Chain A
């Protein structure tokens, strides 16, 4: 009887210990999972704040090359804002599309889209107004080259007209 009782007691103790260990292990797994989820929650909060902050900023780089029609509409808006007749707009054509080296993380490939804008018969003051209006409304576009060619002389040198070519460049995220 003694032996049976001893064996029974050992089995009981062993079973109890195993059950407690199983429950303890399950709790440990949940603890680890909670830590992971909490870390994800903190990361989500940080990311949410970053998104809100980034949304408050204007777009500096587009996700793809801008369509020419969109840029023409923006040009007309800038011309209208500084009182230049729309017929001064001559043409907008693609100038170049070049690739930049990959970023440090290697995940983003940037490209530079350049468009050549031709305007006819503008004074230097008109040009200044247009450039100011354009730059304020379109911060993602940079004017990288300005060429003025004399078109018509006036009595007042300030009223001399120029044919103007402007290179508009913008970064976009390549594939």
Chain B
């Protein structure tokens, strides 16, 4: 027998020192609620419930064994050394009570809890609290470190953004300049407006002029009076020997994609003054 075992006594008192009752309560079967059981047994006990230390244990047949002990008897128990107090055996007048049920009827509970157990529980709670504080501290430290790391990353990303903007915008000595992020956005918008493909393409007349000059008959003796050219229309007024009219007609057939309108021809002796207009076929069709 160790010192600890010698100092931690378990008392077993005869069954006749206890008050006994059997209550039938199905709801208490699986998990005995001692308070509820004691109230059910109160009419059976010969003394008021306030004077008793009551405990209970479920029986195999569904009933509940309720056991009471005078509180005055418990006052004499040395709770510094005694850790449990059980009935020695089941009461003879109650049948079907096994040792398992008796083993659950420890009377030293609640305010009669032995000091060693109370101290052990306090230490357990204290250790649990210390462990909780330690775990919480570790968690908070970890979270704080992670937060600091995230803040560092945020600061670095912001610095990278600012550095990129400074690089793109170039250094500015003007103290009255707007913030870099605004100037950066404004620069992008300015470039998008001025260097992107514009929403409309202005029609270029030079290609039309090239086309006309390429088709213009070089071997005919024309004298151009007026030539007006846009991307969609050509108006030409010129003089040509009347004998070359048919050759001219043939040359101007080569203006693919252009619709020739009826020419105005004015004869001046051997010469003919012609005013002719071409319209881009697609434009003519749309109109």
List chain A residues, Cβ under 8 A from B228: 145-148
Q: Name B206's contact: one of A16, A26, A51, A143 (CB within 8 Å).
A: A143
Chain B residue at smallest Cβ distance from A131: B206
Interface of B is mostly: helix
Check B136–A38 contact: CB distance below 8 A.
no
Stretch at the interface among A55-63, A65-73, A74-82, A87-95: A55-63
Check A12–B199 contact: CB distance below 8 A.
no
Stretch at the interface among B34-42, B84-92, B182-190, B270-278: B182-190
- Bound complex: CA A142 to CA B207 (Å): 11
Q: Name B153's contact: one of A34, A47, A150 (CB within 8 Å).
A: A34
List chain A residues, Cβ under 8 A from B154: 30, 33-34, 37
B247 adjacent to chain A (CB < 8 Å): no
- B35 CB to closest chain A CB (Å) equals 16
A112 adjacent to chain B (CB < 8 Å): yes
Chain A interface bracket (under 10, 10 to 19, 20 to 34, 35 or more): 35 or more
Interface residues of B (CB under 8 A from A): 113, 118, 121-122, 125, 128-129, 132-133, 135-136, 139-140, 143-144, 146-147, 150-151, 153-154, 157-158, 160-161, 164-165, 167-168, 184-185, 187-188, 190-200, 202-206, 209, 213, 221-231
Q: List 16 A-B contacts (CB under 8 A).
A: A20-B143, A26-B147, A30-B147, A30-B150, A33-B154, A37-B157, A41-B157, A47-B185, A50-B191, A131-B209, A143-B206, A145-B228, A146-B227, A147-B227, A147-B229, A171-B198
Check A145–B143 contact: CB distance below 8 A.
no
List chain B residues, Cβ under 8 A from A19: 136, 140
List chain B residues, Cβ under 8 A from A24: 143
Chain B residue at smallest Cβ distance from A149: B226
- Bound complex: CA A30 to CA B153 (Å): 10
List chain A residues, Cβ under 8 A from B160: 41
- Bound complex: CA A12 to CA B125 (Å): 11
Check A51–B191 contact: CB distance below 8 A.
yes
Check A52–B168 contact: CB distance below 8 A.
yes
- Bound complex: CA A157 to CA B229 (Å): 20
- The listed residue with most B CB atoms (<10 A of its CB), out of A20, A45, A58, A167, is A20
